[in-house]
Structure 1
Amino acid sequence: MQQEKPVQVPKNSLWGRLGRALFDLDRWHEIWVTITHNRSRSLLTAFGVFWGMFMLVLMVGAGNALSKGISSQVEGFASNSCFFWTGNTSEPYRGFRKGRRWDMLNSDVEIIRNKVPEAQYLSPMLFGSSGDKNVVRGDRGGSFRVKGCYPEYDLIEKSKIISGRFINDIDIAENRKVCIIGERVYEVLFQTGEDAIGKLIKVNGIYFKVIGVARRMANASIGGSTDESVILPFTTMQKAFNQGNVIHFLGATSQPGVRAKVVEDKIKETLKSIHQISPDDKEAVSSINIEDQFTMFNNLFIGINALIWIVGLGTLFAGAVGVSNIMLVTVRERTKEIGIRRALGATPQNIIGQVLTESIVLTVLAGIGGIVLGVGLLSAVGVALSQGDQFFKDPQIGFGMAVGSLSILLVIGTFAGFIPAQRAMMIKPIEAIREE
């Protein structure tokens, strides 16, 4: 069989020139000698780029940590959710006086389901007392929050079920005396490693069977932290503690593709209509829109990131100007050497390539040093802050940012060496050799 000839790259092609430049050990040795010839000047020149990249890494890492920390405060909430509670009326209406106190009722939920089809999930809530050692098991006890809710509430404010399950529709329909306890409640009432599922605890004087242990996902929480709460079926809590048909709080999410603001406005309008409240009353129905909070945070992070990159890139380009100035000085000092090279047959492209390569190497080495030191410092800060809940969480940069930084360094190195390279190319061999 005839052997295939290996593919040969033309010597004058782009890839050929690039390959020769990469593997030309003499060129790299020459670059190293040039950079280390005046070490103090090289270090001071590189420091501008080093400091700019170091500060950029720190600022991006800090911005990411701030973003993660703030996002963790509302991590468990559905981004399209909103919540409602009652207040005193601020306007007289249809014979009712100003300042009237009113309550949401069980019947309101079904009316809202029918009149606000844009709402996907609805869950009324009740809050119980948290007196001294209101939750007891044997000789152990503590003071914890008590909540009553529907199964849908776990789709509005998500909690992590460590063991067991959450409330289901059968618990609601049969008014079962069951409960979910928070992680902190478990630690107080049970021994480490003990199975809590199926055990009885006394909540405000009434026994309930534990069906689940939950951990919070967000630092912020409605009616207190999930870790320190006991969650009961809504209907059971109403009957067991004589709550009547009153609702303390209402959570809702919008249908996919529908803004939470639409649901928020329609539910407010519906509640005002049911309870004879003026449509213009701004205080009778209070609400919070989580979608607006997410939008506000996103806009804040966009602004912070934009400011970080503007300041960081500005510092880097300031360092590049310093590199460019020093390279001009270097070219001026090496005028005679460049003239001799030209006289011996070096092409303008050879001279430009030499100067650009020196500039890029100096810039990239300084920038990599800034990246390494910045990442190391961020890692140390992350370890120091790893315990507890903070608004400043896991300060790190992404892999994409690191790759992007290296690309920026190449651009900056090329920019810094461009003007000196042009200056070197314009040197005439005869005049350069004559120069003392």
Structure 2
Amino acid sequence: MRLFDLDRWSETYESLSRNKARSFLTAFGIFWGIFMLIFLMGGGQGFQRLMSRTFEGAAQNSCYVFPGETTIAYKGMQSQRTWQLDINDVERLKKKVSHLETVTPIIQQWSKTFQYESKKAKGTMRGVRSDYINIENPKIGYGRFINETDIIQKRKVCVIGKRIKEELFPDIENPCGRYIKLDSIYYRIVGVSKSNTNVGGGGNTSETAFIPFTTMQEIYHLGDNISFLTFTVKKGYTVAETQDEVGDIIKEAHLIAPNDKQAVFLFNIELMFQMVESLFDGMSFLVWMIGIGTLISGAIGVSNIMMVTIRERTIEIGIRRAIGAKPSDIVKQIMAESIILTILAGVSGIFFAVLLLNGVEMIVSTTGLDINFQISFTLALVASLALAILGGLAGMAPSLRALSIKPIDAIRNE
């Protein structure tokens, strides 16, 4: 069949428009199936991108350790006791657990007010060492991150998150070198982070100001106490096989019962990554099953309707056979009708799904969330190929039925 055979295309259009209501209802099954598939896949991919940005820069082989409250009396210590991690725990773990790659302490204070001239911003203050970048490697938009010289010299410098930057310096592109005030202390900005990481219970990095660990220790007279610590494991090891050993070492040092499950809380980032990945894999599989199932049912509907159409056109097909129409001409005509009906309905489904995804994205953007709900080119290509294949399959049975019609039988039946 020539692609630009106008007579054949006109005949196909006339056949489909002969019963518009039937053609519309038949096509709706395909339309709805591809619409749901594209919309659900686009939505799922959008949330997956959001989660990826949330974990951006976080080391997948990391774990956070927080102090809790004891629930068991042990070695003269009462239950319901609160305790604190300290800097010695970091050195202890480095010495006793050889397959730890990085162990670093963190001091954190929430609900702090940062000020530049008359502008103010709320956020979190976090004291870190230079090796913190091995745990959560922030994307630096301007300047640099905290380095070892800052730690040694206890410099009053900071790296601010992008939200703090936007609130304090809305009209200044690069605020590095300027000073912000925090608790009557002025800190020089040496970097601006573009990250939006929010893992480990430390808060969102976009609302965080990082300062040297030693500076925060000295200014707030914290001594050796720390808020929490975090570690990564070397290649070939997993956090799951390491965290119990880490917990036991910390419990022993702080006179906590070995069987006290509530006293030390370990947040396994590696496990969280695996759970999120499994969740999205399961969602994608479910969406594909729903979409493909709906598409197949739509294709069956197209095939059934085409079968009804063939029965109604028995005389027409018989006469065409009688005057010399080749079997291939009959097959091409039936297949063309089936494929065109399927593709038109499918493309309409893709179009309206993308349109709705754009609308949802615009609405969500007003809340401050930056989520891209658009589908990938690969998904659109796969969907288009699937439509063409389904259209062909849907036309096979009606084509075979049309070929079985003998001219003499068609005329006799009429």
TM-score by length of 1: 0.86
Q: Determine the C-alpha separation between the residues in 2 that align with 1:371 and 1:140.
A: 47
Q: Determine the C-alpha separation between the residues in 2 that align with 1:427 and 1:200.
A: 88
Choose from 366, 375, 378 the match for 1:397: 375
Specify the SS of the correspondent of 2:88.
helix
1:428 offset after TM fit, Å? 1.5
Specify the SS of the correspondent of 2:346.
helix
| 2:9 equivalent to 1:28 | yes
* Residue matched to 1:427: 405
What letter is aligned with 2:12?
A: I
Choose from 279, 287, 307 the match for 1:308: 287
Q: Determine the C-alpha separation between the residues in 1 that align with 2:92 and 2:395.
A: 72
Q: Determine the C-alpha separation between the residues in 2 that align with 1:347 and 1:187.
A: 72
* Residue matched to 1:263: 242
Specify the SS of the correspondent of 1:22.
coil
Aligned residues: 414
State which structure, 1 or 2, has the greater radius of gyration over its C-alpha atoms.
1
On the 8 A contact 1:76/1:217 being kept in 2, the answer is no
On the 8 A contact 2:123/2:207 being kept in 1, the answer is yes
Q: 1:194 to 1:306 in 2, by over 3 A?
A: closer
Choose from 275, 279, 285 the match for 2:258: 279
| 2:313 equivalent to 1:334 | yes
1:411 offset after TM fit, Å? 2.4
Choose from 59, 83, 104 the match for 1:78: 59
1:130 offset after TM fit, Å? 4.5
Deviates more, 1:194-203 or 1:87-96: 194-203
On the 8 A contact 2:90/2:103 being kept in 1, the answer is yes
Q: 1:322 to 1:197 in 2, by over 3 A?
A: closer
* Residue matched to 1:171: 150
Q: Determine the C-alpha separation between the residues in 1 that align with 2:198 and 2:405.
A: 66
What letter is aligned with 2:322?
A: A
Specify the SS of the correspondent of 1:242.
coil
Percent of pairs with identical residues: 42
What letter is aligned with 1:28?
A: W
1:234 offset after TM fit, Å? 0.8
On the 8 A contact 1:122/1:253 being kept in 2, the answer is yes
Q: After superposition, give the CA deviation of every residue in 1:320-361 in whole Å (9 maximum; x if it has no partner).
A: 222112211211122122222333344434433332222112
On the 8 A contact 2:200/2:269 being kept in 1, the answer is no
| 2:93 equivalent to 1:116 | no
* Residue matched to 1:10: none
Q: After superposition, give the CA deviation of every residue in 1:142-195 in whole Å (9 maximum; x if it has no partner).
A: 554322111222332233323221101121122222222333444555572275
Q: 1:431 to 1:359 in 2, by over 3 A?
A: same
What letter is aligned with 1:380?
A: G
Q: After superposition, give the CA deviation of every residue in 1:294-343 in whole Å (9 maximum; x if it has no partner).
A: 22222221222222222222222222222112211211122122222333
On the 8 A contact 2:120/2:168 being kept in 1, the answer is yes
* Residue matched to 1:11: none
Gaps of 5+ in 1: 1-19
Q: Determine the C-alpha separation between the residues in 2 that align with 1:237 and 1:150.
A: 11
| 2:319 equivalent to 1:363 | no
Choose from 65, 70, 81 the match for 2:46: 65
On the 8 A contact 1:56/1:309 being kept in 2, the answer is yes
Deviates more, 1:185-194 or 1:275-284: 185-194
On the 8 A contact 2:146/2:212 being kept in 1, the answer is yes
Specify the SS of the correspondent of 1:176.
coil
* Residue matched to 2:189: 210
1:125 offset after TM fit, Å? 0.6
On the 8 A contact 1:158/1:217 being kept in 2, the answer is no
Q: After superposition, give the CA deviation of every residue in 1:9-46 in whole Å (9 maximum; x if it has no partner).
A: xxxxxxxxxxx443544333322222223333222222
| 2:107 equivalent to 1:107 | no
What letter is aligned with 1:420?
A: P
On the 8 A contact 2:161/2:193 being kept in 1, the answer is yes
Q: After superposition, give the CA deviation of every residue in 1:393-412 in whole Å (9 maximum; x if it has no partner).
A: 32221111111111221222
1:244 offset after TM fit, Å? 0.6
1:100 offset after TM fit, Å? 3.5
Q: After superposition, give the CA deviation of every residue in 1:201-237 in whole Å (9 maximum; x if it has no partner).
A: 4432333332222344225574333333332111121
Alignment of 1:106-255 (within 5 A): 106-128=87-109, 130=111, 133=113, 135-137=114-116, 141=120, 143-187=122-166, 189-190=168-169, 192-193=171-172, 196-219=175-198, 222-255=201-234
Specify the SS of the correspondent of 2:260.
coil
TM-score by length of 2: 0.90
Q: Determine the C-alpha separation between the residues in 2 that align with 1:195 and 1:393.
A: 25
* Residue matched to 1:96: 77
Deviates more, 1:65-74 or 1:83-92: 65-74
Q: Determine the C-alpha separation between the residues in 2 that align with 1:215 and 1:221.
A: 18
Specify the SS of the correspondent of 1:159.
coil
Q: After superposition, give the CA deviation of every residue in 1:372-407 in whole Å (9 maximum; x if it has no partner).
A: 1211221222223224444x9322211111111112
On the 8 A contact 1:125/1:247 being kept in 2, the answer is yes
* Residue matched to 1:418: 396
Q: 1:322 to 1:242 in 2, by over 3 A?
A: same
Q: 1:403 to 1:143 in 2, by over 3 A?
A: closer
Q: Determine the C-alpha separation between the residues in 2 that align with 1:302 and 1:80.
A: 20
* Residue matched to 1:6: none
Q: Determine the C-alpha separation between the residues in 2 that align with 1:247 and 1:116.
A: 20
Q: Determine the C-alpha separation between the residues in 2 that align with 1:195 and 1:403.
A: 42
